[in-house]
Amino acid sequence: MFNNKSIAFDKSYAFAIRIVKCCQYLQTEKKEYILSKQLLRCGTSIGANLAEADGAISNADFSAKVSISYKECQETKYWLNLLKDTNYITKQDFESINIDTEEISKILFSILKTTRINNEK
């Protein structure tokens, strides 16, 4: 399956730290509490679901957890775009964090694709 020492897990954990710091900034500096909580939930959920995938009891369970991580990554993109378009974060800050979101998304999609191909064999 997968272990907590994987690239996907490491990148999602580092991303979660960025998300926590971003939300701290939004709440402290911008006094924004609603959107930032949504971002915090989905942005940190990516790695949390990968940690659960590490303890999966079957290939289907593993695939389901990685799929949830992927969907949480897509939701994170939505909230980041909304924060950018409402001027809570700058375009430059958005682009910086969005690079990470896109990279994690591609890694997760690749894992899902490989897992599903292997399950069909």
Domain that holds residue 98: 7-120
> 61-71: per-residue pLDDT in tens?
999 999 999 99
pLDDT at res. 121: 60
Is 2 inside a domain boundary?
A: no
Give me the residues of the chain with pLDDT under 70, please. 1-5, 119-121
Q: Is residue 87 one of the residues assigned to a domain?
A: yes
- Tokens linked to 93: 């800050």
Domain presence at residue 1: no
pLDDT of residue 1: 47
Alpha carbon separation from 97 to 67, 82, 104 (Å, rounded): 21, 13, 11
Q: Domain with 99 in it: what CATH number?
A: 1.20.1440.60
Distance CA 23, CA 87 (A): 14
Between CA 42 and CA 75 the distance in angstroms is 7
Evaluate if pTM is beyond 0.75: yes
Side chain identity at residue 93, one-letter code: D
What is the domain count for the chain?
1
